[in-house]
Structures are given as structure tokens and as C-alpha cells.
């Protein structure tokens, strides 16, 4: 997906990172995926693309996506989600409930973890379930 960005970490290094770091990366990877997907599949002006992308990247939408795909995740992926969801985050969500925000952090952690551990095929499978 994002082959031009060098990923220098190995799985052992990634496993020692904070789940919030995975979520930080996952947020960027997921947003880029959504934006490129919209550009490729919708003939809209940038402002309309932005409005449409918000429907996918807001915390409530990510929480719903996670609930939809949860039963398709491996045990390891469920563990990553749980670590992301339960990570102590002092950020208070503006447009979501605390529970939605926690689940969206778990979703973003999963996306970031898969990206950082170079599990590109699995990442593509999960991202394609999202749209």
C-alpha cells in the first residue's frame, strides 16, 4: 500500500512500542487509504472528498468498523486491539463517546501494528472490509 515509505522496525521492536504509537501510525495509514480510495472511486471536488472521508475516519465510524470485523480477527490481532483500546489516553474526545474513542483507538492500533510489522496482505484484507 505505502511501499515507498521505509519501515525500519522489526516485529520485536514493534511489540515493545506503546499501543498509542501503533494507533498514531494507524490513524495516518487509514486516513490515507480512505482518501486514495475516495479519489479513485468518486469524482468530487476536494471539499466534498473531505466531507465524505470524515464519514469513515471519525471515531464512531471506526468503532463500528471494528465491531463489524472483530470476529474475523486472529487472536494476535484481537490482543493488539485490546491493548490499543485499553491504553491510557488522556485525550478527551470532542465528537464521540469515550467508548467509541477507545474502540477507534483499538482499530487504529491494529492498522498501525499491521503496517509496522509489514503484514501488508492482511492489512489490505482488513482495509478492504472497511469501505
pLDDT per residue over 53-95, tens digit each?
999 999 999 999 999 999 999 999 999 999 999 998 777 777 8
Domain ranges of the chain: 11-130
Q: Which of 13, 27, 75, 120 is catalytic?
A: 27
Taking residue 69's Cβ as centre, other Cβ atoms within 10 Å add up to: 17
Half-sphere exposure of 10 (CA within 13 A, CB side): 1
Identify whether the C-beta of residue 109 lies closer than 8 Å to the C-beta of residue 22: yes
The pLDDT of residue 118 is: 92
Question: Of 20, 103, 112, nearest to 67 (Cα)?
Answer: 103
Q: All 3 cell numbers of residue 84?
A: 490499543
Domain formed by 11-130, architecture = Orthogonal Bundle (1.10)
Entry pTM:
0.89
Whether 27 is catalytic is yes
The pLDDT of residue 5 is: 56
Amino acid at each position: 500500500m505505502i511501499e515507498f515509505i521505509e519501515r525500519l522496525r522489526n516485529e520485536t521492536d514493534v511489540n515493545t512500542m506503546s499501543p498509542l504509537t501503533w494507533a498514531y501510525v494507524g490513524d495516518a495509514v487509514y486516513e490515507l487509504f480512505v482518501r486514495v480510495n475516495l479519489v479513485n472511486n468518486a469524482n468530487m471536488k476536494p471539499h466534498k472528498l473531505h466531507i465524505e472521508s470524515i464519514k469513515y475516519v471519525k471515531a464512531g465510524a471506526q468503532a463500528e468498523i471494528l465491531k463489524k470485523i472483530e470476529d474475523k480477527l486472529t487472536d494476535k490481532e484481537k490482543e493488539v486491539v485490546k491493548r490499543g483500546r485499553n491504553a491510557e489516553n488522556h485525550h478527551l474526545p470532542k465528537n464521540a463517546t469515550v467508548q467509541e474513542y477507545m474502540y477507534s483507538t483499538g482499530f487504529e492500533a491494529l492498522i498501525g501494528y499491521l503496517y509496522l510489522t509489514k503484514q501488508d496482505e492482511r492489512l489490505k484484507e482488513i482495509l478492504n472490509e472497511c469501505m
